[in-house]
Copies of this chain bind each other. A is one copy, B any other.
């Protein structure tokens, strides 16, 4: 895409526009690795978080309005404790919802083949809701996304609807999801390094390359052979949307299109 390099330079020179003001530590390596490559420029990211949000659900007349306004009662990018949630819930005056949101990353790509490589890495690492967008003007974005989530209503109009025992149970589950999320991030980072290294080797190789050998194909063959280690081969397409053996396999056929 013409002008990608120039756009990227300007983009990376801008101040971080997120509420936090900086890239999450857990994914700083990934962001740095991608931005060091000609073909990629990250545009937004979050390593994953646990949050308690409160949505304003009714207006003063008592009628339900669209939930356009939320406030955050708690947010953390690490494991949390039951007391954190209990304390935050004491501030709730409306409908409070506890959420786990996994790693998400948006990357603008120079060419479609860059997006395809990144997409392959994302799917192979367990981020099975990842997808590419190509705008009509040729801008190519890859979003790394997961189906992994929790969304649990806890209070109604400020009234707590669960016990502290339940909150403790929920927090344990949420912390396990954060741990699994971290493992997937580590897997993503390793797979990304392997994929980029493979691409480099092919680009630099002085041997004659088969016309249809693309870096992402070589990377995929290497990944499938690598039974142990960091990169996981996607499971075979079961052909059904409705299997819940592993919610992430619902979209497996995406990975097996070739």
Does A2 count as interface, using CB distance less than 8 angstroms?
no
Chain A contact patch, size range: 35 or more
A141: chain B residues at CB < 8 Å are 254, 257
CB of A134 within 8 A of CB of B149, answer no
Shortest beta-carbon distance from A118 to chain B in Å: 12
0/1 string, A50-92, CB within 8 A of B gives 1: 0101000000000000011110100000000000000000000
CB of A258 within 8 A of CB of B135, answer yes
Contacting residue for A136 out of B53, B152, B153, B216, CB 8 A = B216
Bound Cα distance from A44 to B252, whole angstroms: 12
CB of B139 within 8 A of CB of A112, answer no
A131: chain B residues at CB < 8 Å are 129-133, 143, 145
A216: chain B residues at CB < 8 Å are 136
A129: chain B residues at CB < 8 Å are 129, 131, 143, 145
A51: chain B residues at CB < 8 Å are 244
Bound Cα distance from A147 to B258, whole angstroms: 27
CB of B166 within 8 A of CB of A241, answer no
Query: Closest residue of chain B to A251, judged by CB?
Result: B143
A152: chain B residues at CB < 8 Å are 150-153
How many copies make up the complex?
Answer: 2
CB of B169 within 8 A of CB of A161, answer yes
Shortest beta-carbon distance from A71 to chain B in Å: 9
Of the candidate stretches A13-21, A28-36, A197-205, the one touching chain B is A13-21
Query: Closest residue of chain B to A154, judged by CB?
Result: B166
A17: chain B residues at CB < 8 Å are 239-240
Does A222 count as interface, using CB distance less than 8 angstroms?
no
Does A208 count as interface, using CB distance less than 8 angstroms?
no
Query: Closest residue of chain B to A150, judged by CB?
Result: B151
CB of B170 within 8 A of CB of A153, answer yes
Shortest beta-carbon distance from A119 to chain B in Å: 6
0/1 string, A142-172, CB within 8 A of B gives 1: 0101000111110010000110011001100
Shortest beta-carbon distance from A157 to chain B in Å: 11
A10: chain B residues at CB < 8 Å are none
Contacting residue for A253 out of B43, B165, B169, CB 8 A = B43
CB of A119 within 8 A of CB of B145, answer no
Shortest beta-carbon distance from A50 to chain B in Å: 13
Bound Cα distance from A129 to B239, whole angstroms: 21
Contacting residue for A156 out of B112, B169, B244, CB 8 A = B169
